[in-house]
Amino acid sequence: MNVSMEKQPRMTETVQSAPRGQEAAEQPAVQVSNLGKSFGAVEVLRDIELEISTGEVITLIGPSGSGKSTLIRCMNLLETPSSGTLQVMGETLVQDGKILPKRSQLQEFRAKVGMVFQSFNLFPHLSALENISLAQVHTLGRRRAEADERSAQLLDSVGLGQRMNHMPAHLSGGQQQRVAIARALAMDPDVMLFDEPTSAIDPELRVEVLKVMRDLAQSGMTMAIVTHELKFARMISDQVLFLADGTIVERGTPDELFGAPQHERTHQFLAAIEETKL
């Protein structure tokens, strides 16, 4: 992988996140307290406590089925937590397992918490530019020309300025994912969530997506990332959380978690990943 493994100072200008108010810096961007989630009788998350400060990057790692996707989906209410509290940018969205905003307010909230999935979910009949402009017009009420201008600027910033009019079928997986990232950024989100953004992409094309994410982190965007790219997680994260069986087993800085894991379960997971590389 050619993404520099140096954790660099923030604030490069390549990909811009939205400016934030002064007051936002004083409270966590995301606060999750005592969160639980069950599907029917099956409890898949319990006692989840986590805080993401404004401008912080956290990564969630852990074995398959540990609840990583469910947790990140709870953060933008794609899943409704069964219990606990969720606050985003100071607003309480879930209290004691109940969603507080009205249904009509949810779309606006989701725009503020961008989500990038493993599958890119672009509209196949729209060009890269049109994919990015669509929600700007429909959700934010931007004029078409203004939306297109912003889309073009974002496509440029993710290295796709020459491919604005390409249809998704004529773009590689890595390019499609960069369009999907630009689409989320077009809503001027406060927080960006990523669920295994590179796992459906050919290895040699992943690096371009990882570079865009690195630039975004360095611009000061608040990010939560589920990933199996441990080298990338080590490079980009302020905080790494290891989940197993629906709980956060261990958390720390990348050096703490990868360099000196305290729990046997974390050891086992990291050793298993190392082995698969042999």
Q: In the block, which residue shows the tokens 């611009």?
A: 219
Q: How far is the CB of 210 from Mg ion (least distance, A)?
A: 18
Does residue 276 interact with ligand ATP by CB under 6 A? no
Between 44 and 221, name the residue whose CB sits nearer to ligand ATP. Answer: 44
- The answer to whether 54 touches 29, Cβ cutoff 8 Å, is yes
- The answer to whether 14 touches 56, Cβ cutoff 8 Å, is no
Q: Which stretch binds Mg ion (CB under 5 A): 47-55, 61-69, 147-155, 176-184?
A: 61-69
Does residue 67 interact with ligand ATP by CB under 6 A? yes
Q: Which stretch binds ligand ATP (CB under 6 A): 67-75, 164-172, 183-191, 203-211?
A: 67-75
Q: How far is the CB of 273 from Mg ion (least distance, A)?
A: 16
Shortest Cβ contact with Mg ion: which residue?
69
Choice from 54, 69, 175, 176 touching ligand ATP (CB under 6 A): 69
Does residue 39 interact with ligand ATP by CB under 6 A? yes
Helix axes 203-218, 173-185, angle to 10 degrees: 20
Choice from 3, 15, 44, 93 touching ligand ATP (CB under 6 A): 44
Q: In what order do the strands lie in the sheet with 239-244?
A: 113-116, 191-195, 222-226, 57-61, 239-244, 247-252
List the one residue out of 185, 146, 186, 151 whose CA is nearest residue 165. Answer: 151
* 57-61 and 222-226 beta bridge pairing: parallel
Does residue 227 interact with Mg ion by CB under 5 A? no
Say how far apart CA 175 and CA 159 lie, in whole Å.
9
Q: Which stretch binds ligand ATP (CB under 6 A): 5-13, 51-59, 60-68, 213-221?
A: 60-68
